[in-house]
Amino acid sequence: MRFTQSSLPFLTLLSVVFAVPSKDPAPEVKESINPPRGWTLRSAAPSHHTIELRIGLPQPSFPVLEKHLYEVSDPFHERYGQHLTKAEVEALAAPHQESIDLVSEWLATHSIGESDIRRSPARDWVTIKIPITLAEKMLDTTYHVWTHDASGDSILRTTSYSLPKHLHPHIDVIQPTTMFARFKGYRSTIHDIDRSPSLPAYTGDSTNSGAVIDPSCNTTITISCLQQLYSVPSDFTPSAHVGNSIGVTGYLEKFANRQDLQSFYADQRPEAVGSTFNFVSVKGGLNDQNLSNAGGEADLDVQFAFGLSFPVNSTFFSTAGHPPFIPDINTPMDTNEPYADWLDFILAQEKPPLAISTSYGDDEQFLTVGVPWFQKTVPESFARRVCAGFAQLGARGVSLVFSSGDGGVGDGDDNPATQTCLTNDGKNQTKFIPEFPASCPFVTAVGGTESIEPEIGVFFSGGGFSNFFARPSYQDKAVGKFLSALPKGTFEGLFNPNGRAIPDVAAQGVGFRIFLRGQIVSMAGTSASSPTFTGIVALLNDVRLRAGQPPLGFLNPLLYTIPEGFNDITIGNNPGCGTKGFNATTGWDAVTGLGTPNFSKLRDLVIRKY
C-alpha cells in the first residue's frame, strides 16, 4: 500500500514527551577533538568576523524514513518505485516540536529571534549568521584561524564546543566547529590534463555489444567510445518529453562553460549543437562565462553527463564558496560545508533532477583517540546528518551518484607510495581512508577503469570500507563473498570489514577528450567515471519512463540484485598507504564494485517485474 499524506498523523503521535528539566546554565562539552594532523593554529579568530552556524536537530522518525526508502527501492518489494512525496519525506525528517521549542528558547536568550533564523524544509536544520564573538559565547568556546600545511587553505574552527546540558538530547550537531576536512575535487580527481592529439580515423566495427571497439578508445575516451564500451545502441535516442532529467553539482567556483560545451558537441555530439543546460545558483553560486575562467572539473562533468544523455533535460548547480578563508574579510566564507548548503536547496525543490552526479568529496579521515576508536576529522555526527539528507532525496526518487575518490585505499596523494595514511593519536598507525560522501550507504559510489579489451581497474580508483557506516544489507552477499575470499590476515587492522563497502560500480576514468578554455585536453579521474555512470542512469530512466514506470530512484538495492547487468572487471588494484591495495576479482570487489554498466542488458533488467 502506498504511503500517503493521510497516513502521516500517526507519525506525529510518535513524539516522545520529554520532561523539560530546570535549565542548567553551566555548559557541558558536546563534541571535542584533538588538533588534527596537518593543520597549524595561526591566530585567534578576528572578532569582527561573521560566521554561519548550522544546528542539526534530531530526526526521531528517520528509522521510519529509512524503512520506506528501502521498500520503494527494493525490486522484490510490492512498493518498489512508489516514491514518497516532498511533504511525506519532510514529515519523516522533522524533529520533535520539543526540540524546536527548546532550541528556539536557547537562541532567544542570546537575542536571536525567529526572523534571524533560516530553517530547512523539514525544520531539522537551523541556520544563523552571527558575529564570531557571539558564537564563542553561545558555545563556550574559542575559535582560531587554522591553516592547512600542504595547501595553505585557512579556516575558522575550534577543537571543542559546549551546550547547556538540557540541550544535548535536542541538538545532534553544530558546525562549523570541529570539522577540519578539506572539501575538494579529490585533488587528483582531475588526474591529468594533457594536450590531446587529433583523434585517429575510425577503424573499428562497433556492434554495440562490446565485441569490437574502436581501437582509438584505448587512448582517447569519447561519447562514441562509451556507447560502444557500454553497449548503448547507436540508434538509441532518449526522449525529451517524458519528464526525465539529469543534474551535475559544481563547487569551489569551478564554472561550466557553454562555449566549451558547444565545441564539445560539435566534436562528439553534433545533434546537440545549439542546446545547453539550465543553470541554477545555490547560495549565490556563480557560473562565470569568461572562457579563461572555465573549470576543468565542471567542463568534464557537464560535457560527458549531458553529452551521453542528450536530449534529456539537464541542470548544472553551482554552490557558492571557495577556500581559502581570508581572515580579514567580514564574510562567512569559511564554513566549507557545501553538501549541507546544496542539500538545503535541493530538498526544498518540488522536482529535483532524477539523476545527479557529484565529483567532490572529503577523506573519511580519523584520529585514534581512546574510545570510541575513531574520532573523525569529518565528525561522524555531521557525516550522518548529510547522509540522512541523501536518503531523503532517494526516497523521493532521485538517484545520487558520487565519485569514489582518486587515492586508491589511501589519502588522495597522487603517488600511492608516499601516502602516509597515519592516525593522529601519536601512535602513527597506518589505516586505509575511504571517501565521504561515497561511503554513505544511500548513494551510489563509482570507481574508475581504464583500457579496453580488457577493461581494467585503474590504480587510483577509490575503494574500501567505511569507518562511519555499517555495511547495508543489500551488500551482504556480494561483499561477504569478496571478504571470505581474501587470504587470512590480508590488511588485518587496516580497514573495517563490517563497514559500508565502496565502490558500488565503475566506469572509464582515463583519457577523456574534453574542451577546456577553447582547447582540447585529456582528463582523468573518478570525476569522469561519475558523470559517465550518471549519464547511463539517465538513459535507463528514459527506458522506465517510456514504459510507464517510475524513475529508478535510490539505485543500490536494485544494482546488487542484477550483477548480470554489469561487465565484471577482474584485473587491476588500487594501491595506497604503502600497500598494493585491493585486487579486482570475479564478482564485487573494492576496486570496481560490481563492474561497468552494460546498457543493453540493463535496459531489460530495469523494467522486468521481479
Model pLDDT for residues 536-546, shown as the tens digit of each residue: 999 999 999 99
How confident is residue 526, by pLDDT bands cut at 50, 70 and 90? very high
**Is the confidence at residue 481, as pLDDT, over 90?**
yes
In angstroms, the CA 132 to CA 156 distance is: 10
Helix (H, G, I), strand (E, B) or coil at 539: helix
Pairing, β 355-358 against β 399-403: parallel
How confident is residue 153, by pLDDT bands cut at 50, 70 and 90? confident
**Is the confidence at residue 200, as pLDDT, over 60?**
no
Report H helices in 109-257: 132-139, 223-229
Helix (H, G, I), strand (E, B) or coil at 160: strand
pLDDT of residue 332: 44
For Cα atoms 58, 370, 375, give the angle at the middle one, nearest 5 degrees.
45
C-alpha cell, 419: 601516502
CATH of 193-605, one of 3.30.70.100, 3.60.110.10, 3.40.50.200, 3.40.1160.10: 3.40.50.200
Does 569 count as an annotated binding residue? yes
In angstroms, the CA 359 to CA 525 distance is: 9
What is the crossing angle of helices 380-395 and 338-347, to 10°?
A: 30
Report the pLDDT averaged over residues 452-470: 95
CB contact at 8 A, 521 and 514: yes
The domain locations on the chain are 193-605
pLDDT of residue 21: 41
In angstroms, the first-to-last Cα distance of the chain is 17
Which of 206, 527, 529, 530 is catalytic? The answer is: 527
CB contact at 8 A, 574 and 581: yes
367 CB-side CA count, 13 A:
22
Which of 260, 297, 334, 542 is catalytic? The answer is: 297
**Is the confidence at residue 341, as pLDDT, over 90?**
no
Does 587 count as an annotated binding residue? yes
Provide the percentage of residues in the chain whose pLDDT is more than 90.
70
Does 589 count as an annotated binding residue? yes
Tell me, what DSSP letter sits at residue 30? E
The answer to whether 301 is a known catalytic residue is yes
In angstroms, the CA 260 to CA 514 distance is: 8
How confident is residue 410, by pLDDT bands cut at 50, 70 and 90? confident
In angstroms, the CA 327 to CA 172 distance is: 28
Provide the percentage of residues in the chain whose pLDDT is more than 70.
83
The answer to whether 66 is a known catalytic residue is no
309-313, 415-419, 467-471: least confident range: 415-419
In angstroms, the CA 527 to CA 411 distance is: 16
pLDDT tens across 1-32, in order? 444 444 443 333 333 333 344 444 689 999 98
Query: Mean pLDDT in the chain?
Result: 87
**Is the confidence at residue 262, as pLDDT, over 60?**
yes
Strands (E), 88-180: 118-119, 125-131, 144-148, 154-157, 160-164, 173-175
In angstroms, the CA 304 to CA 316 distance is: 13
**Is the confidence at residue 563, as pLDDT, over 80?**
yes
**What's this model's pTM, rounded to 2 decimal places?**
0.90
124-128, 240-244, 550-554, 575-579: least confident range: 575-579
pLDDT of residue 192: 57
